[in-house]
Amino acid sequence: MYELLHDLLGDSLLVYVIGAALPLLFVLPFAVVAVLLEMKVSAHMQDRVAYMYTGWHGVLQPVADILKLLQKEDTVPAAADKFLFRLAPFLVFMGGYAGFAALPFSSAYIGSNIDLGVFYILAVSSLAVIGLMMSGWASNNKWSLFGAMRSVAQIISYEIPSALSILVAVMIVGSLNLQEVSKFQEGGIQNWIVFGGPMPLLQKLLLLPFTITAFFILFLAGIAEVNRTPFDLPEAESELVQGYNTEYSGMKFAIFYLAEFANMFLVSGIVVSLYLGGWTSPFGDVMSGPIWSFFWFVAKGMFFVFLQVWIRWTLPRLRVDQLMYTSWKVLTPFLFVCIFAVGLILVL
């Protein structure tokens, strides 16, 4: 991507600015769609119809919501640490957004084709943790602080299963670069890593149970890292008002939401790239090419976003101890077994 921009604009700072801003073109419209999706899906699950007045079946409602949030008064609590309070939402968004740089949207486009790829995404997402903590502390409100602490404990705990399940796929491919990982799975649905990857049949069958386990755990840990139900303890409204963003209003509140939606897609994107072929077409060479590959990536990603919404409106919230139990005593040991087994199978 940078090469193209370089050719167009020469060696100037502008290249980097444009390169860095490109994923925004995707993230902003996506957030609008995701808000609508969330509302509509939840409503229909509960036998309601949700927005109906703004536009056809209320499709313009998210736009109206954004306009409303923009006009709202942006309050800052008197006893808050003003600077950190203002900084926090942007850090949270940055943590998710920076991850988009290493996500391969299409066979022709990846923000930054670095070797570290998914490892880099793991690292920068820690920025969001710091942002959450900052928002909770700077609000000077005990519910916010509790919410922030819960979310941090949760994200840090679930980083371990998610990193380990990423490792399972990375071991099979031998590269951390998500573009390479996607290329590795070209050639149809049977080559996706969740189905054992493009290996000889016996090896594939042996790998299958472990890759499927790792895939599920990665998705599960992903939901937990985005703090969504059933893992949305940080925002448990019955206990904590609204958690870390209780004191936020107006645009800053909107940015928290934007960050959440960006993270939802990021998590789906990682799952898709690592286990479900990324931008590759499920039908081999049919319907492939840069444009189609963009379609496949977004379609698969959106499916997982839909799945997250679905789960959110289906399952009740976990208790704190159940949450920790799941991460440390169930997911992590399972992944140790997976990693060990996959390593063994790959060597044999």
Partner 1 sequence: MILESIVFYSLAVASVGSALLMVTRRNPVIAALYLILNFFCLAGLYLTLQAQFIAVIHILVYAGAIMVLFLFVIMLLNLGDERKLSDAISPRKIIAGGLSLALLLELLSIFVTGTEGLPEYNADQALQVGTVEYIGKQLFTKFLFPFEVTSILLLAAIIGAILLAKKKPD
Question: Which residues form the interface with partner 1 (CB under 8 A)?
Answer: 13, 81, 84, 114-116, 119-120, 122-127, 129-130, 133-134, 136-137, 145, 148-149, 152-153, 156, 159, 176
Q: How far apart are CB 74 and partner 1 at their closest, in Å?
A: 23
Kindly state the smallest distance separating residue 152's Cβ from partner 1, in Å.
6
Least Å distance, CB 124 to partner 1, is 7
Closer residue to partner 1, CB minimum distance, 131 or 277 = 131
Give me the least distance between CB of 271 and partner 1, in Å please.
Answer: 20
With beta carbons less than 8 A apart as the criterion, state whether 280 and 288 touch: yes
Instruction: Please tell me the distance from the alpha carbon of residue 51 to that of residue 272, in angstroms, as a whole number.
Output: 31
Q: Between residues 24 and 116, which has the closer beta carbon with respect to partner 1?
A: 116
Q: With respect to partner 1, which residue has the nearer C-beta, 218 or 305?
A: 218
Closest approach, Cβ 96 to partner 1, in A, equals: 14
Nearer to partner 1, 148 or 305 (CB): 148
206 or 226: CB nearest partner 1:
226
* CB-based burial, 42-66: b 16+ in 10 Å, e otherwise: ebeeeeeebbeeeeeebeebbeebb
Residue 261: CB minimum distance to partner 1, A: 22
Our CB check for partner 1 shows the closer of 98 and 318 to be: 98
Q: What CA–CA distance (Å, rounded) separates 303 from 182?
A: 18
Residue closer to partner 1 (CB basis): 33 or 84: 84
> What are the respective helix, strand and coil percentages of the chain, to the nearest 5?
75, 0, 25
Q: 65 vs 159, which CB is nearer to partner 1? A: 159
Please, what is the minimum distance in Å from the beta carbon of residue 80 to partner 1? 13
Residue 158: what residue type?
Y
* Min separation Cβ 175 and partner 1, Å: 9
What angle separates helix 201-225 from helix 142-173, to the nearest 10 degrees?
170
- Cα(257)–Cα(32) distance, rounded to whole angstroms? 11
Q: Angle CA(315)–CA(319)–CA(324) in degrees, nearest 5?
A: 110
197 near 127, Cβ under 8 Å? no
Closest to 303 (Cα-Cα) out of 265, 273, 333, 277:
265
What single-letter DSSP state applies at residue 326?
I
Residues in the chain: 348
Pairing outcome for strands 109-110 and 104-106: antiparallel
